[in-house]
Amino acid sequence: MTFEIKISKKPVEYTKAIKLLEKKVDRISLNLEKNEFIWLLEHKETYTGGVNYNKDEIIDKTINVIQTNRGGKITYHGPGQLIFYFVINLKKRSKDIRGFISSIENIIIETLKEFNIEAFSDRNNVGIWIGKKNNARKIGAIGIKIKRWIAYHGFSINLKTNLKNYEKIIPCGIKNKKIENLKFSKKSNHHAFKNRLINNFIKKFGT
């Protein structure tokens, strides 16, 4: 399969990004577009709630939470956080949603390993974690929506975001777990990491 790749340099408003993704979903579903889609970007400061979130997970009642149709609970997006969106046609692949999410987790974990960062997934808490399992810190969140077997939304990775903004919510509905930024040995690795993620994603899903 061939991918259209879009990389935005300026922060993108969340609702505008989702509208574009949904347009891609509809066009691919109707066979109006053959190329699948990858989009790397940052969002302006935004809180979003997935289909499973509840208002008890909002600590600071003054914040505005955008209700979304993705899976998962409440999370924060903002500058310094890498957003990796995609539109993938599962009708051309195995219709195994859990397996698809596991593949995404593995892509992130294997890419981090290339930069000597050990990470792992958690069967009970979808996402990517670093550190020891009894003191794990979350660096990546995943939220997927399936529409007519087209998978979209994606995942986020904290690179250098303001972690204090997570204190206003219970991130992903998980209490007593810390959120962390990735710490690369070299500043230039941020850019290299993004390129490797794209390459590894296409390597997995482009065949």
- Supply the residues annotated as catalytic: 172
Task: Count the alpha carbons within 13 Å of 151 in the hemisphere toward its beta carbon.
Answer: 26
Q: How many CB atoms lie within 10 A of CB 184?
A: 17
Angle, CA 193 vertex, CA 97 and CA 149 arms, to 5°:
20
Six-digit token pair at 138? 């979350």
Which DSSP letter does residue 138 get?
E
State how far the Cα of 207 lies from the Cα of 189, in Å rounded to an integer: 27
At 59, the amino acid letter reads I
Compute CA distances 60 → 79, 139, 161, 173, 193, whole Å: 20, 22, 19, 14, 33
State how far the Cα of 96 lies from the Cα of 119, in Å rounded to an integer: 24
The answer to whether 194 and 82 have CB atoms below 8 angstroms apart is yes
